Amino acid sequence: MLTKIVLAVSALPLLRAASPAAEVTDLPGLVEPINFRHYSGFLHGAEGRMLHYWFLESQRSPTEDPVLLWMNGGPGCSSLVGLSMELGPFRIDPSGVNVTLNPFSWNKVANVIFLEVPAGVGYSYDPSGSNSSDDFQATEDNYRAVLEFFDNFPQFRQNEFYVTGESYAGVFVPLLTQRLVEQPHGINLKGYAIGNGAVDFEIHGKAIMFFGYYHGLFGDDLWDDVTTHCCNGTVSKDTCDFAWYTHDPNCVDPVNVAYDIILEEGLNLYNLYVPCDIKTLPRELLSRRHPEITSQYATKKLLTKTLGLRTSDSDADHNCYNQDNLLLLYPKLRVNHSPPWKGQAMSTSP
């Protein structure tokens, strides 16, 4: 799989030089004491690319506990989302002012590296100004970053090491793991783990529809409508085209209705069988605006002041961005004829 992406959330170099193993000694808004050390800095990828990391030592036994590398997906999602909203030790309150501790943090039992990948995501950057990447370039960058991390933190080289991640890390994780198996450079690699992994978008797009129907998330009427227009007369994983259905307008509407039921109705996508008591759910899971809360705090306060980082994302509200930049494609296309079209004088698409 080779995915070409252009990432608009880019970062500019540090306002001041920082050592590769810069310890974070003050975290604005932190209302509880912590019993672990943590560091933030940059690791070198290939061709001068710089990957931002945040490393948090284990709260239990840093010298004996494993080291985990965590990567969020997208591609184009910052791993600081994982740090501040998922498995990291810090939680940001709805006001965006105070930071509390997550009692379920993975660094309760492991040393965790949050690495922002590929270059162009979050505070990772390419000094050349390019934010284009593909899976193999990202793998080489990630591999070099891991090697440099253990050079900077040699006391952890003998600890067990695991490569982990979610979503599009279903691509990043096995590629990096394979690279480390081939050339371990003394790293004590023990395994990898992928949660909610993106492995094949076509298979996923088809499977989620069968999953939704056979788990009773929507009924027979909608299923009949979907399969009538999307399955070419026979209902099977090979004949139903739920992933690339846009060629048939009669298929679009029922598929979108089904997707909305599965993905947008507030179901617990990680465990459908768990009762959903909204009174006990954390606010960040209920609020559709939690990315803005997190990024507002992280960009304007926690990262800019504490870590000395700055970003070219002036809105400070993109935790994930992976849109293709078509301006790179159009100059390569030869236009033989451009006929007039309805609404040509309008400022919006017809």
pLDDT at 320: 56
Q: Which CATH architecture has domain 5-199+289-327?
A: 3-Layer(aba) Sandwich (3.40)
65/303 Cα distance (integer angstroms): 27
Q: How many CA atoms lie within 13 A of 204 on its CB side?
A: 9
Domain boundaries, the chain: 5-199+289-327, 203-264
Q: How far is CA 119 from the centre of its chain?
A: 13
**For the whole model, what pTM was predicted?**
0.74
* pLDDT at res. 137: 93
| Tens-place pLDDT, residues 145-200 | 999 999 999 999 999 999 999 999 999 999 999 999 999 999 999 999 999 888 88
Which range in 181-195, 227-241, 315-329 is most confidently predicted, on average pLDDT?
Answer: 181-195
Q: Which long-range contacts (CB under 8 A, 24 or more apart) does 180-189 make?
A: 180/143, 180/146, 183/143, 185/147, 185/150, 186/150, 186/157, 187/146, 187/147, 187/150, 187/157, 187/161, 188/157, 188/158, 188/159, 188/160, 188/161, 189/161, 189/162, 189/163
State yes or no: pLDDT of 220 exceeds 60: yes
CA angle 321, 86, 39 (to 5 degrees): 85
Using the predicted structure, report yes or no on whether residue 67 has a pLDDT greater than 50. Answer: yes
Cβ–Cβ < 8 Å for 318, 8: yes
